[in-house]
Amino acid sequence: MTNPIHSLFALFMLLALTTGCTTNIKPSTETNPPPAEKFSAFNRFELLPVKAGSDVVANQQAAMTKIQENTQTILGSRLQQLNAKPLSGQPRTLLIEPTVTELKFVSGAKRFWSGAMAGSSAVVLKAKFTEKETGKLIANPEFYSKASALSGAYSFGGNDNAMLRRIANWFAVYVLNNYKQPVGGPVISTDVDAASILTE
């Protein structure tokens, strides 16, 4: 005969797991339209530090610091290479302003104690691209990445941390893919490596 206390406990754990797995952080669209111009039309690039779009995001300081570090390593270094080219003609500067508008990051410690019940990690990053000299809007794309509750638990938080790199990499993929031609791109991150994209 089934012990009713055991059944209630199992039901409670199931409800806690399914509740924990949900997150309300979702992208607002699936595809970024092409920018107004290809990015190679500019001869200088200025990448501002990643900003927090709300107090909720800003309070997750460790995750924000990691996103900034990853963005600088993956994208900032590539833009430095482009800026090292001799200036031809009048400067046209593409100003890039990234903002994390939504973020839920489950830390390794929380994964250790709560596992999948800590829920998913998810992040939305939006970026404003303008011509610095004129203020003309060039693009306003959105990027999304997620680490599911189960993958986070199985990896002991490794996939949660990997999400912080994936969002920076996907941001960089968009910039580099739109360098030669304005093509836009998907909002949701994939496994394409920004380092594999050539700008020459």
- At residue 85, φ and ψ (nearest 5 deg) are -70, 145
CA atoms within 13 A on the CB side of 43: 8
What are the tens digits of pLDDT across the range 38-62? 999 999 999 999 999 999 999 999 9
DSSP 181: S
Q: What size, in residues, is the chain?
A: 200
Task: Measure Cα distances from 16 to 12, 13, 115, 174, 181 in Å.
Answer: 6, 5, 11, 37, 47
Query: For residues 171 and 127, is the Cβ–Cβ distance under 8 A?
Result: yes
Q: Where are the domains of the chain?
A: 4-196
Chain mean pLDDT for the chain = 84
Q: CA angle 186-73-138, nearest 5°?
A: 45
Rounded to two decimals, the pTM is 0.82
* Per-residue pLDDT at 185 exceeds 70: yes
Query: For residues 51 and 97, is the Cβ–Cβ distance under 8 A?
Result: yes
Query: And the tokens for 157?
Result: 């938080």
What are the tens digits of pLDDT across the range 108-157? 445 533 444 446 689 999 999 999 999 999 999 999 999 754 443 344 34
Query: For residues 67 and 105, is the Cβ–Cβ distance under 8 A?
Result: no
How large is the average pLDDT for residues 152-176? Answer: 79
Question: Into which CATH architecture does domain 4-196 fall?
Answer: 3-Layer(aba) Sandwich (3.40)
Q: CA angle 165-170-176, nearest 5°?
A: 125
DSSP 155: T
